[in-house]
Every structure is written in structure tokens, then in C-alpha cells.
């Protein structure tokens, strides 16, 4: 995974992406017990093109030049399927802006805060998000006040109340 993270750092350094942070299952695993997953979700802020469009094409092109291949919705980077997800709503923008720098072996990377990961689970709202959310609340050291602020800012408090009735 370290080689994959080095490639992500190079994409950011080269301006292909403005900023990235690990989210999804691997992001959650930074804060809780490990569980099964097969891909690495990477949230990205993309540089705007001249026409104002946001597109993943520059990432695809930069990775193809490195010999990376596409596989379903992922790109295989150094043996790891990576899915790039644009930060296309206010919650994701905030999550990326406030993501934490951390070390993986000798390499610096960035991971979403646990409170944002929890809020994204609530916003995404699939069955597996609800199941993971329940365990995540127990395992991860969350700042309850910070989480409440995130949920309120992004109108997710009602949804979490509904979830509590079925968890």
C-alpha cells in the first residue's frame, strides 16, 4: 500500500489532483478493527479545467502514462485497486479540507477524520453503511461534539435518529 500512497502523493505534487484523502473502508480501518474490503476509496479535489468542468480524465491519463490499468470502476495502482471519488458535495469538501495527515510506514498520507467518515456513512445510507456505522461508533474514538456539528451542518441529524431506531 505504501507504493500506492507514494503515487497518490506524486499526483498531488504534480497538480493532477489538488488534494486527496483516504476514505471508505480503508479510511475506517485506520480507526477501527480491520475488516474485509477489496478497494481503496480516495476522495479528491480536482483542478478546474479552462471550461470549468471537473473531470477524472487527467487522473486516468496520468496513471495510464505510469502503466496503470483500469479495472471496473477502479485503477490498479501498484497492485491495489483504487477508486477515485470527486468531492462533489459540501460534506465531502469539508471532509477533505479537514482530513488529517498521518504516516503509513515511511510515507505521509491523508485520511478523513473519523467524524466525517461517520457522517459520510450516514449520508450514503446503504445497508452496509448502517451496519458499519454501528460498529464504528463503538470502536473509533470520535469527538461527539464535533460529529454533532458535522451532522447538523449537513442536515443529517434526522437521518441518524431514524437509524438509531433500527440499530
Partner 1 sequence: MENRDLNQLLAGKQRRREELTRLPIEEKIRAVIRLQHLAAHILKQRGKKVRCWNIASSDRA
Map the footprint of partner 1 across residues 77-116, applying CB under 8 A: 78-81, 102, 104-105
Helices (H), 71-156: 90-97, 114-124, 127-139, 144-153
Task: Could you list the beta-strand ranges (E) of the chain.
Answer: 19-22, 40-45, 69-71, 74-77, 80-86, 100-104, 107-111
Residue 124 makes contact with partner 1 by CB under 8 A? no
* Closer of 2 and 48 to partner 1 (Cβ): 2
Q: Residue with C-alpha cell 458535495?
A: 89
* Closer of 107 and 123 to partner 1 (Cβ): 107
Residue 71 makes contact with partner 1 by CB under 8 A? yes
The DSSP annotation for 136-151 comes to HHHHS---HHHHHHHH
Residue 31 makes contact with partner 1 by CB under 8 A? yes
Number of H helices, E strands in the chain: 8, 7
Residue 38 makes contact with partner 1 by CB under 8 A? yes
In angstroms, what is the minimal distance from the CB of 74 to partner 1? Answer: 9
Residue 137 makes contact with partner 1 by CB under 8 A? no
In angstroms, what is the minimal distance from the CB of 51 to partner 1? Answer: 35
Amino acid at each position: 500500500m505504501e507504493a500506492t500512497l507514494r503515487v497518490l502523493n506524486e499526483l498531488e505534487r504534480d497538480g493532477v489532483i489538488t488534494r486527496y484523502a483516504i476514505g471508505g473502508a480503508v479510511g475506517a480501518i485506520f480507526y477501527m478493527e480491520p475488516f474485509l474490503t477489496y478497494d481503496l476509496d480516495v476522495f479528491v479535489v480536482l483542478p478546474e479545467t479552462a471550461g470549468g468542468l471537473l473531470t477524472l480524465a487527467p487522473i486516468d491519463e496520468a496513471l495510464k502514462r505510469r502503466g496503470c490499468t483500469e479495472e471496473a470502476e477502479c485503477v490498479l495502482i501498484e497492485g491495489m485497486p483504487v477508486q477515485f471519488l470527486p468531492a462533489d458535495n459540501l460534506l465531502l469538501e469539508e471532509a477533505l479540507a479537514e482530513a488529517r495527515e498521518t504516516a503509513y510506514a515511511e510515507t505521509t498520507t491523508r485520511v478523513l477524520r473519523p467524524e466525517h467518515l461517520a457522517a459520510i456513512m450516514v449520508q450514503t445510507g446503504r445497508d452496509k453503511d448502517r451496519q458499519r456505522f454501528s460498529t464504528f461508533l463503538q470502536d473509533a474514538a470520535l469527538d461527539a461534539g464535533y460529529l454533532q456539528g458535522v451532522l447538523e451542518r449537513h442536515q443529517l441529524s434526522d437521518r441518524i435518529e431514524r437509524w438509531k431506531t433500527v440499530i
